[in-house]
């Protein structure tokens, strides 16, 4: 082969490697930028205290609690639904049937709907439609109680948004359960449901775990869906019931960096809040990767 061609080959590989390097460098740059910016402000006290002096001092405890409540409620609503849908798609559905294909298409579509549209849907459906309906039944429409943005509507909106995440990882895990295990169970006289309950689900627990972690990571970071379904800028109390509003880390970053009266004075708080949010999602994503690779390692043995 001519030298010219060999040189060109090196060039091609070099350009590809460079592109990869650029992406990794960007990732590194953002992470270090945010950690350096937040380093001076972050402390245990910052994490454990409420904002003070009109948000210019104090910590982010209510935002952390709000985020945790949100993802908890979201998981309670979304994970079982997602896992069961995955179970249906991989164990019950006839893959070529119209219903199975329609549900699969719906899951894919759901994954592509912009998060702000989920927010609009949450407002139009949960707050306005379901909320108003509940008020009409519970209080004869006298009191405006459920027809307002609150943590329940925000969590349900977020649960819909993260549904595809759960479905995809659980389905992948179920598919990896060896067919022999199912056959053995059925051969021993177990029914289909017994096989699913005693063989398939225990063997795909890691998929449910991965799905939950990824959904929580996504749900903790998204802001657009909760903008008008329940988040609040500042609240003196932690959310005590499902009809309360809540503070959230991502929204805190957004409001503090764009709409507070003195943006520069709170730069440290903004960086530190962003750092908490970023490290939280890192931690969640890493644990998802570890759960997955551990299982893969086991499967290879």
Partner 1 sequence: MQETRLNAAALKKKFRVNEFIAEKFITGVAFLSLAAIILIFIFVFREAAPILFEEKKEVSAVAQVEEEQETYGEEFLGEGSAVVAEGMFRSESVESAGSEGEASLENLLSISWQPVSGDPKYGILPLAIGSLKVTFLAILIASPLAILAALFTSCFSPRWLKEILKPTIELLAGFPSVVVGFFALVTLASMLQSMFGLEYRLNALVGGVAMALAVIPVVYTVAEDSLASIPKHMTEASLALGATKWQTAIFVTLPAAIPGVFAAILLGFGRAFGETMIVLMATGNAALIGWGLTEPVRTMSATIGAEMAEVVFGDTHYHVLFLLGAILFLFTFTLNAVAEIYIRQRLLKRFRGEAS
Which residues within the stretch 40-79 sit at the binding site for partner 1 (CB under 8 A)?
none
Minimum Å distance from CB 196 to partner 1?
8
Which residues neighbour 251 within 8 Å (Cβ) at sequence distance 6 or greater?
63, 223, 226, 227, 231, 233
Among 64, 168, 254, 269, which residue interacts with partner 1 (rule: CB under 8 A)? Answer: 254
Among 49-57, 135-143, 236-244, 253-261, which window interacts with partner 1 (CB under 8 A)? 253-261
Looking at the DSSP assignment, which residues form a beta bridge with residue 58? 51
Among 56, 121, 181, 186, which residue interacts with partner 1 (rule: CB under 8 A)? Answer: 121
Q: Which is nearer to partner 1, 149 or 239 (CB)?
A: 149
Structure-block tokens of residue 152: 């329940």
Among 45, 72, 76, 114, which residue interacts with partner 1 (rule: CB under 8 A)? Answer: 114
**What is the sign, positive or negative, of the torsion defined by CA atoms of 70, 136, 145, 233?**
positive
Asked if 185 is part of the footprint of partner 1 (rule: CB under 8 A), the reply reads no
Minimum Å distance from CB 143 to partner 1?
17
Among 128, 203, 260, 287, which residue interacts with partner 1 (rule: CB under 8 A)? Answer: 128
Asked if 181 is part of the footprint of partner 1 (rule: CB under 8 A), the reply reads no
Among 1-9, 42-50, 138-146, 200-208, which window interacts with partner 1 (CB under 8 A)? 1-9
Minimum Å distance from CB 241 to partner 1?
22
Is 271:177 a contact under the CB 8 Å cutoff?
no
Q: Which residue carries 């925000």 as its tokens?
A: 154
Q: Which is nearer to partner 1, 227 or 240 (CB)?
A: 227
* Residues 78, 156: Cα–Cα separation, whole Å: 8
Asked if 7 is part of the footprint of partner 1 (rule: CB under 8 A), the reply reads no
Q: Within 13 Å of residue 168, how many CA atoms lie on the same side as its CB?
A: 15
Give the DSSP H or E segment for 223.
Answer: none
Q: CA nearest 153: which of 178, 170, 128? A: 128
Which residues neighbour 240 within 8 Å (Cβ) at sequence distance 6 or greater?
none
* Residues 206, 223: Cα–Cα separation, whole Å: 28
Among 7, 48, 57, 84, which residue interacts with partner 1 (rule: CB under 8 A)? Answer: 84
The per-residue DSSP string of 103-137 comes to HHHHHHHHHHS-HHHHHHHIIIIIIIIIIHHHHHH
Asked if 95 is part of the footprint of partner 1 (rule: CB under 8 A), the reply reads no
Minimum Å distance from CB 133 to partner 1?
13
Structure-block tokens of residue 65: 């609690």
Q: Which is nearer to partner 1, 240 or 297 (CB)?
A: 297
Q: Which is nearer to partner 1, 85 or 212 (CB)?
A: 85
Structure-block tokens of residue 192: 């289909």
Asked if 15 is part of the footprint of partner 1 (rule: CB under 8 A), the reply reads yes
Structure-block tokens of residue 150: 């609150």
* Residues 203, 221: Cα–Cα separation, whole Å: 30
Among 112, 236, 240, 297, which residue interacts with partner 1 (rule: CB under 8 A)? Answer: 112
217-236 footprint of partner 1 as x/- string (CB under 8 A): xx-xxxxx--xx--------
């Amino acid at each position: 082969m001519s030298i010219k061609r060999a040189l060109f080959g090196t060039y091609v590989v070099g350009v590809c490697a460079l592109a990869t390097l650029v992406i990794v460098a960007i990732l590194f740059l953002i992470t270090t930028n945010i950690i350096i910016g937040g380093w001076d402000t972050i402390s245990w006290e910052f994490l454990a205290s409420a904002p003070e002096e009109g948000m210019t001092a104090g910590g982010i405890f209510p935002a952390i609690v709000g985020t945790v409540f949100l993802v908890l409620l979201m998981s309670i609503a979304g994970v079982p639904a997602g896992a069961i849908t995955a179970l249906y798609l991989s164990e019950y559905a006839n893959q070529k049937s119209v219903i199975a294909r329609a549900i699969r298409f719906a899951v894919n579509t759901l994954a592509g709907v912009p998060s702000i549209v989920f927010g609009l849907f949450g407002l139009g459906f949960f707050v306005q439609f379901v909320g108003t309906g509940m008020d009409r039944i519970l209080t004869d429409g006298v009191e405006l109680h459920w027809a307002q943005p609150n943590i329940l509507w925000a969590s349900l909106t977020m649960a819909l948004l993260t549904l595809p995440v759960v479905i995809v990882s659980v389905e992948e895990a179920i598919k990896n359960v060896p067919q022999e295990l199912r056959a053995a169970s059925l051969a021993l006289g177990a029914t289909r449901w017994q096989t699913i309950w005693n063989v398939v689900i225990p063997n795909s627990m890691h998929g449910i775990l991965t799905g939950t972690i990824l959904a929580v990571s996504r749900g903790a970071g998204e802001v657009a869906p909760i903008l008008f379904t329940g988040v609040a800028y500042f609240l003196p109390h932690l959310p005590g019931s499902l009809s309360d509003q809540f503070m959230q880390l991502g929204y805190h970053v957004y409001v503090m960096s764009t709409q507070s009266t003195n943006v520069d004075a709170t730069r440290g708080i903004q960086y530190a809040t962003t750092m908490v949010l970023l490290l939280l999602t890192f931690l969640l994503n890493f644990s998802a990767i570890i759960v997955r690779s551990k299982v893969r390692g086991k499967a290879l043995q």
